[in-house]
Structure 1
């Protein structure tokens, strides 16, 4: 049975966690394929609210394998805290598996992220400042530290030193921070490695075996298509690829192993942070959407920007991901509104009109929806 990928068809926060949670009832394996703890999936179970940032949404279903793939970047402190929180609430976490090849967010990644945003001033991208981007940068530069490195103190120490050495200039403002001491950091992360060791596994093989046995595998994405580092509104994007193609790269399967791609979209649109938003509202309607839809970030608590449904962007997302299905969420938020608007094209500079999502970002910045 080919797998099913769940992706965000807008700028994130579409309700992917809820959809994945529903599918988990009949799935055998649920695997995250990109992003980090900048994601926030909220699930309500018997009146209890669970907010997950790293662990797949299927963890609330006993007997399921919930894996974190090689494409995810992991803050081991956040992972252990999330595990502890679930255990305290009586959740069985024995089904969790973490790819040995997943890269780790280190203290210096968060410091570089925070310093970088501060330097940009008014031009800030609006990152969550959790070190996601610098971690992916180290991965590309082949300076990354992976889950498996936590299990060997000598290798871990060598890799931390090699990763920090080129960053001395960037880290100078933080040089007196105790967490940047090489020996202390090695010991701290070695301890975290001991705690996470029972969950570290060959997640690629787990997914292969499930697919070969004709069991349902759900590939869970984070963020949304328009935040994709290659296909989104660059540079106001995340540092990974939330599109369906990454479900292969971030877990180690081939394209033929994914037979269905479901996009999740709200009946309106939201965005967090900076960047173009052609259908954004700045009136009482935006306040209505924000208050009735609870549009505040699960991870950051930031108020989300709100606007009318954007079919131009949605068509683009359908094409980029090769969607085979669309799940529309939060229709109830629009209950009682007498007239709904939907953007069918963009109006750009000098009277230009665009039926398709503009390839040039300066045009997107200057475009508004035509309803």
Structure 2
């Protein structure tokens, strides 16, 4: 038996979809434990590209059970569109299940998201406008609507009547926006509930029974450690818990049931949205990484900010998540660069610091301290053994291991499933 959590070790977009899809071949269940459709995972299988936003990356294996946990906020329209798109592509969703405790994103959440971001002006966070933050706010305020209510029309009517009056008043009187018609909203979402009902099951029970039976469970997060609402670069964070501990809370399992935690990190760093980024490259090298790595958001299409690998945030991710090992993705993107840089610390007001500051004002003043390593020119897309990587590529990875304090278990040398080097078996 093994239960493995896959987390992002940077600001998200690290390639977790590829790693989860690869590990799903060895798992029996794949569980998405937090976030919403503000996240996107791109998976390439058999030469086809699949963009997933809410459905777990293991869905491409028809025999795997794919579960959406209670820590997710679910937009029913997006979820059903994703099911329809996969069905059209010949992908079965028969083994897909949703926790009845999962919170529902409503149209007023999306409108409030856009209104709040507009009001922030220059201080905007850079949200996707998908309603994620307002949905989590309602969850904490105990006025959210859950999937179990959505599939129960009388219960849904009661919850919607209780909250819609306040939401309309907020939109109309504070933001000057139009509100929503109760009956139209009720009819639309009851129809969604009817379609979702066959997928609803107690995810916590399913996972528990699987673990007791000795089956392998893979937990998949969205976003990354540096976007965690508590441990990320607050306030430029998401509204949930992408860190490994979130897997327990967001799926209904205890921490003693987790065996390993894999941190996914690109061989460089990217982020989308606002906030400090010490190793960001606003030059030709940054643009090289963006274009060669196809660094544009899966969900929004926004160009990602690119920079050198940052061992300060990687060590932070190791500590916060209790990482067992790292999966390094997109190593192939660095091919062709004569010199590579690794950030080993920050210079802050004349002193060298090696731990991530808590405040953004301090982080904004930090300048990266770099080590330089020689690059390589050889194409590594066809390499299938670690020993066959160019010497300089191995040296680069070995220095990352030294700086981060955990081994590398997987290396991605291209987007395809077959372009994956396994250094350590996880299941």
- TM bucket (normalised to shorter chain) is over 0.9
Question: Corresponding residue for 1:33?
Answer: 33
Q: CA deviation at 1:222?
A: 0.5
Structure-to-structure mapping, 1:221-260, within 5 angstroms: 221-260=221-260
Partner of residue 370, structure 1: 369
The structural deviation recorded for 1:290 is 0.1
What residue number does 2:405 align with?
none
Contact 1:34–1:240 (8 Å) recurs in 2: yes
Q: Which residue of 1 aligns with 2:415?
A: none
Contact 2:357 2:363 (8 Å CA) reproduced:
yes
Following TM superposition, by how much is the alpha carbon of 1:170 offset from its aligned partner in structure 2, in angstroms? 2.4
1:176 CA drift (Å) = 4.0
CA contact (8 A) 1:113 1:133 kept: yes
The unaligned stretches of length 5 or more in structure 2 are 371-427
Give the count of matched residue pairs: 368
| Alpha-carbon contact 2:263-2:326 (below 8 Å) kept | yes
Query: Which residue matches 1:126?
Result: 126
Residue equivalent to 2:218: 218
Bigger relative contact order, structure 1 or 2, given CA contacts below 8 A and separation 6+?
1
CA deviation after TM superposition for structure 1 residue 174, in Å: 6.7
Structure-2 separation of matches of 1:194 and 1:365: 49
Report the counterpart of residue 73 of structure 1 in structure 2.
Answer: 73
Equivalent pair of 2:171/2:178 in contact (CA under 8 Å): no
The match for 2:407 is none
Structure-2 residue corresponding to 1:272: 272
Mapping for residues 159-198 of structure 1, pairs under 5 Å: 159-172=159-172, 176=178, 180-198=180-198
1:205-264 Cα offsets, whole Å, 9 max, x none, are 000001101100000010000000000000000000100000000001011100100000
Q: In the alignment, is the contact (CA less than 8 A) between 1:2 and 1:256 conserved in 2?
A: no
Q: In structure 2, what is the Cα distance between the partners aligned to 1:115 and 1:176? A: 12
Q: Which residue of 2 aligns with 1:321?
A: 321
Aligned residue in 2 for 1:17: 17
Mark the runs of 5 or more structure 1 residues left unpaired by the alignment.
none
What's the secondary structure of 1:137's corresponding residue? helix
Alpha-carbon shift at residue 353 of structure 1 (Å): 1.9
CA contact (8 A) 1:138 1:163 kept: no
Q: 2:262 is paired with a residue of what secondary structure?
A: strand
SS of residue in 2 equivalent to 1:127: coil
* Aligned CA-pair RMSD: 1.0
1:356 is matched with which residue? 355
Query: Hey, what's the Cα distance between the residues in 2 that align with 1:292 and 1:118?
Result: 33
4+ residue runs over 6 A deviation: none
Question: Are positions 1:156 and 2:156 aligned together?
Answer: yes
